[in-house]
Amino acid sequence: MTFDWNAHRFSGGVLALDLANTVIFRGDPQRSLDRFDDPNELPRFAEAAAIFRIGEWGNVQFHPPLSQKETEALIGIREVINSLFRSATREGSLQSGDLSTFLRLGSDLVCNEPEGRDLRLPNLSEKKRELSLGAAAFLSAMRLLDPARLERIKACPNCYWLYLDESRNRSRRWCDMNVCGNRAKARRHYNRNVKQAGNNHV
């Protein structure tokens, strides 16, 4: 079954967090699902990311992995991005082991880019450029190490996705108010009605 890579799937705000969020419900083993278990989703994600992350990258084409080795490298950087920034939201610090692995894997990805490839970020030139999805995710994550951005990374209390809160007063609570925010509102309304019904039977 084809998966819809719509705007909600890119609620992370930056490519690095969008990639981490391709595993849904990470905090719930019963519901956790890796969208890349289906390898056909990799090129579809890359194509959608070029559209939804145009504000971060400009006119770009992200190349998905073409081999098992490249796929493993992409999954590796995805998992360490998730671990690195999730611990930052939870503990307020970057873990040395995660940071070391992140820099090592990212260095390998960047080294595999062809000579002369434009790696600047942000770069909103209209001239089209190409990057591997893994290298682009690493460069996107590098910008999140800026303390001013790092402290704005949050985890959605409903779906556990990571997102960059760019609201003026850092008041954003959900990855997507129209999805997770509304689900939480509906859940509160349901629980309130159940409680009231129970009290009426006392």
* Domains in the chain with CATH codes: 7-200 (1.10.3300.10)
Q: How far apart are CA 22 and CA 33, in angstroms?
A: 8
pLDDT score of 187? 59
Q: How far apart are CA 199 and CA 157, in angstroms?
A: 28
* Helix pair angle (133-143, 68-91), 10° resolution: 20
pLDDT score of 127? 86
Give the least confident one: 15-29, 38-52, 134-148, 177-191.
177-191
* Helix pair angle (68-91, 96-111), 10° resolution: 150
Q: Is the dihedral of CA 122, 127, 128, 130 positive or negative?
A: negative
CA-CA-CA-CA dihedral for 68, 94, 30, 198, to nearest 10: -160
Question: The pTM is what?
Answer: 0.89
pLDDT score of 125? 73
